[in-house]
Structure formats: structure tokens, C-alpha cells
Amino acid sequence: MLHRKFMLKLIRRHANCVKTTLKENNKKDRMKFCLSMLDEATKTIAMPKFKTMHNVVHIDETWFNMTNKNKTYYLLDGEEEPTRPIHGSCIGKVMFLTSAARPRWDSEGNVTFSEKIGILPFVKEVPAQRRCDNRPRGTIETKSIEVGKKVMREFLIEKVLPAIQAVWPESDVGQIIYIQQDNACVEALMMLLSLRCLC
């Protein structure tokens, strides 16, 4: 009976998801953040505009698996099937720090600045402490590092800022660049970094 009513369009399918209820303080904080993103020059007109956010770099951490459990290969006739051994049953994971900003176009529609700034792995190269069947002792191995406040600060200063300096468009040189992490809309989590050394 239900199927017949559905086919006759007397009842309809509806998908629903739960929504987190925001407290009054959360609503106020969100409203304050939205108002802070308005362009100062357009606040006095009837329809104010938001900032272009051309000077904001977004960074975020992302996990990637070293490989997939199942992978498809296309082999030539007589080619050997590849083997992908792993230790135990777990596949290794590596965390990457990705950074991106708004792209830029010229008057003809050509991309002058792509949004990609860099993808940096949280890894270190260390010599192997013990010998095994696959490699001798002292062989350089790549291992993931635990990410904390200190490691994140080092990556920002030593890797993210030089990457921004290397690819940042010349038209925006000398302005203040904001680095925003995880789309956080709290001022304490938004790092203000002056890149006036780009001049």
C-alpha cells in the first residue's frame, strides 16, 4: 500500500539530518565574526560588501593512508604481478599540512595565482636503529612525527611562510596576510602575521 501511494505521489521521500543546537553565546560569536568580515569602506551604504579575503591563507591538517588495501593495476602480457607487503595488518598513515588562498585572474581570465601554496608532510628522516632482512642498520627511514603546538609553530615559521613568500602574487606584496586554521572564527585561533619582508 505504501509503495502504491509512493508511485502515485501521494507520499514523498524526505531525508533529514540532525542539527546541533547553538547556544546564545555561539550565535553572538558567529554574528560578530560575520560583521567583522564586512568591508569597512562599504559599511555606510545600504548593501555593504564582504571583504575579498585575498590576504587570507587557509591551513588545515589532513590524514592520508600510505596505500589502499585493494588497488587495481593494468599489466602487460607476461608482466609480473606487483607485491605490496606491509608489516602486520595496519596500513601506515601520514599527516599533511595543506595551505591555500583565493586564486587570482587577470582581465583576460588567465590564472595569475593558483590557490595552491603547498602540501607539507609531517615526517622526519631518521637512521634505522636495528638491522632487518629488508635493510641494514643506519639506513635512512621516513617516519611520521607527532604533531603538537611546538611542531605546528616550527612548520608555520620554517615551511609555510617561505612557501607563501615563494608563490605570493607581486601585486599583493607588502600587505598583512592572515593565516586561518581549520576555519576557526575565534580571534585567538587566527594568527596575524605581517609579511612586510616581501617588499
State the pLDDT confidence band at 194, using cuts at 50, 70 and 90.
very low
C-alpha cell at 48: 555593504
pLDDT in tens, 41-51: 888 888 889 88
Model pTM score? 0.66
C-alpha cell at 165: 613568500
pLDDT in tens, 22-76: 899 999 998 998 888 888 888 888 888 988 888 888 888 888 887 888 889 899 9
Q: Which of 90, 55, 31 is nearest to 168 (CA)?
A: 55
pLDDT in tens, 95-126: 899 898 888 888 888 888 888 888 888 888 88
Q: Where are the domains of the chain?
A: 21-51, 53-68+91-199
Share of the chain above pLDDT 90, in %: 7
Contacts of 154 (CB under 8 A, 6+ apart): none
| Average pLDDT score over the chain | 82
How far is 124 from 141, CA to CA, in rounded Å?
A: 8
